[in-house]
Each structure stands twice: as C-alpha cells, then as structure tokens.
Amino acid sequence: MSTRSFADGVFTAADLRSAMNAGLLHLGASPTASQVQPASLDLTLGDAAWRVRAAFLPGAKRTVEERLADGLALHRLDLRDGAVLEKGCVYLVRLRESLALSPDLLARANPKSSTGRIDVFVRLVTDRGVAYDSVPAGYKGPLYAEISPRTFSILVCEGSSLNQLRLRKGHAVLSDDDLRARQSRGELVSGKGWSIGGGLCLSVDLGDSFGPVVGYRARRHSALIDVDRIAGLNPDDYWEPIPRPASGFMILDPDEFYILASQEELKIPSDLAAEMLPIDTDLGAFRVHYAGFFDPGFGVEQGSRAVLEIRGYDAPFVLEHGQTVARLVYEQLTGPPDVGYGAGLASNYQGQGLRLSKHFRM
C-alpha cells in the first residue's frame, strides 16, 4: 500500500492496521485485542532489559546497541518470566514493535496513562536518535523504551505495555483559532471559564469538586506494583490523601509525586486526538503529566477530568486553586475512528474525576 492512500492527520486504528499490512509498522507478535487503540498503538516490552548507568540518547551516528557496548550497560534482566525494575534505576528494553516509515510519515510516543500515574518515567529511544519520543520521517529500525521508576518499584514481563505510539502524516495540529471555533459550539470542554492560548489551558482543582480530598501524594516506602495486575492493590498502602486546603492553595514539596485533577471536564471529539504537553516551564517549577495522549471519544459519553501527575522540582512551590498547569494540543485525525474511547473498549478512565491508576481498588 502506498502512503498516498493515507490522508493527512493522526492515524486511526484502521490506518494503523493498514500500516501493518503495508510493512510500515511491525509488531513482532500477534496484536492483543486492546493493543490497537482508536488513534494509538500500545507498545510492548521484549524479552530482556538492560540496567544502564544513566539515561542516554545514541546521537545521530550511533545505534542503541553500539552505545550499550560502550560500557553503559551494567547487567541484563530476563523478562520472559517477569523481573523487578527498581525505583531510582534506569533500564532500557527493546520493544517487540519496529518501524519502516516512508519519508512522509512521522511517529511520536508517550507513556500510557496508567504508567504515568504510578510515577514511572518512560521515553521512546530510536537508533541514531537525538530526541526522546519523536521518530523522524523515514525511520527504519527498532524501538526501545527507557524506563525509570521514580517512586514505586515495578514488576514487568515480556509483553507488558508502558508506552504508546502515534503515526502522523502531514500537518495535523489545530490552531488556537480552530480551537476557539470548536469550543464556541461546546465541543472541547464543559462549562465556563475555559481559556485557549497555545492550546486549551487546563487548571488544577483544589476546591470541593471531589469532596474533602483534592488529590494524593505517593508514599515513599511501598511495596512493588505489578503493572499487569488490575485493581489488585489497596490505595492506602501507596497513597496519602491530600485534604482540601482551606487556604485555597497547597505547597508542592521538592521531589514528591502528586495526583491531582483539572477543573475542566474534557471532551475529545471523534475527529480529533489530543496530547497534553509533558512540561511547560513557563507555568511553574514542576512537571505536569507524564502521559500525554487522549484518544477520540474521551469524555464524550460523560465529561472527564484530566488527571494531573505532578512532580515538584528543586524548591517548594505554591499551587493555587484554578492555576493553569498544562496545555492540551489537539490534532486532526485522518478520518473518523472505527470505535471511540469508551465505546465498546476496555477504557479504564472514561468519565473519570480524581482517579488513581487502574492498578488500585477504588
């Protein structure tokens, strides 16, 4: 299949399957029922991980394996029967998927929502790569996941999925004027008080929307998390509830990890996908949202908050109720998806408010 058959925009599930058939995208294993999402593909871990001395990019003239052979690899872990990735360490795993992109196709990756909500830092690495999570047009080669658990040690195995990929052809990003036109019809966010500037601005909710609790702070010395086990953990063993501040603000402590939620209830129309910018240095001394992809249909059946995964930087920082903490960038799809998020899929976060990851009982 020629890439001329694909329209400009972010690939839908049907496009991703066509890309597989055309040899542009190789899975290396039979896809599971949930691996192909409405506008993204869940990537899966291969059979081995390398503990590495430090995070790295291979550079424009080197492959990942060449850099590992330079002495960056410390030891190899067999993932076939599962292995523990310790917090505070950095690992590299070759993924089962690979790409053979044409010159007019790009790819971009992000951690999955459930990965970010347990404070696992995951970034895509390619051979001769000079940037994380971005795959240049025409790339042909393997894909790797750099994995760094920050708060909780995790149990993973071959086939576990920690990040996801999107394919894109041409220009797909909607301008602020486009967003204002869509929101004038109430298509992007519910209620009043929304703001657009460099994307849809999202603000943090420290008010009474969720009752007496506005968020959660991770406990530092908890048991490990099996990333493939759903709803099996007691949240009290891993999280400390944050009471609603009477002052209207809270202080982010350095190097602590928080789960909060947006004031806005989002709706991702069926012809669009969205990405939350992972860091925006002019919004404050903290990082917001490790996991950035929102598939078409998110929040459409029932308005859904954006869950904010926040880590403070080197100094304590005051976070006010209603403060802008992130921006959501919308992109056009190549066409309508076969199925939207939440419609007939095992979608864990449709209609969410303040929500921990799917690993915890709620």
- Tell me if 359 is assigned to some domain: no
- Same domain assignment for residues 164 and 181: no
CATH of the domain at 11: 2.70.40.10
- Same domain assignment for residues 231 and 327: yes
- Tell me if 289 is assigned to some domain: yes
- Same domain assignment for residues 160 and 200: no
- Same domain assignment for residues 8 and 157: yes
Residue whose structure tokens are 């709706």: 267
- Same domain assignment for residues 221 and 297: yes
- Same domain assignment for residues 150 and 258: no
- Same domain assignment for residues 107 and 230: no
- Same domain assignment for residues 201 and 238: yes
User: Which structure tokens are listed for 271?
Assistant: 């012809």
Q: How far is Cα 272 from Cα 196, in angstroms, rounded to an integer? A: 17
- Same domain assignment for residues 193 and 270: yes
Residue 346 and residue 220 in contact, taking contact as beta carbons nearer than 8 Å: no
- Same domain assignment for residues 193 and 77: no
- Tell me if 348 is assigned to some domain: no
Give the model's pLDDT for residue 299: 85
Give the model's pLDDT for residue 277: 81
Span between the terminal Cα atoms of the chain, in Å: 46
- Same domain assignment for residues 133 and 185: no
Number of domain units in the chain: 2
Question: What Cα–Cα distance (Å) separates residue 112 from each residue in 72, 132, 291, 348?
Answer: 27, 15, 5, 12
Q: How far is Cα 129 from Cα 113, in angstroms, rounded to an integer? A: 24
Q: Does pTM surpass 0.85? A: yes
Give the model's pLDDT for residue 23: 95
- Tell me if 135 is assigned to some domain: yes
Give the model's pLDDT for residue 279: 55
Q: Largest Cα–Cα distance of the chain, in whole Å?
A: 60
Domain endpoint, select from 149, 169, 189? 169
SS (H, E, C) the chain: CCHHHCCCEECCHHHHHHHHHCCCEECCCCCCCCCECCCCEEECEEEEEEEECCCCCCCCCCCHHHHHHHHHEEEEEECCCCEEECCCCEEEEEEEEEEECCCCEEEEEEECHHHHCCCEEEEEEECCCCCCCEECCCCEEEEEEEEEECCCCEEECCCCCCEEEEEEECCCECCHHHHHHHHCCCCCEECCCCEECCCEEEEECCCCCCCCEEEEEECCCCCCEECCCCCCECHHHCEEEEECCCCCEEEECECCEEEEEEEEEECCCCCEEEEECCCCHHHCCEEECCCCEECCCCCCCCCEEEEEEEEECCCCEEEECCCEEEEEEEEEECCCCCCCCCCCCCCCCCCCCCCCCCCECC
Q: How far is Cα 111 from Cα 134, in angstroms, rounded to an integer? A: 13
Domain holding 122, by residue range, is: 3-169
- Same domain assignment for residues 203 and 138: no
Q: How far is Cα 53 from Cα 72, in angstroms, rounded to an integer? A: 5
**Tens of pLDDT, residues 204-256:** 999 999 999 999 999 989 999 999 999 999 999 999 999 999 999 999 999 89
- Tell me if 360 is assigned to some domain: no
Residues of the chain with pLDDT under 50: none
- Tell me if 161 is assigned to some domain: yes
- Tell me if 339 is assigned to some domain: no
Residue 126 and residue 95 in contact, taking contact as beta carbons nearer than 8 Å: no
Give the model's pLDDT for residue 192: 78
Question: At 261, which amino acid appears?
Answer: A
Domain endpoint, select from 169, 194, 228? 169
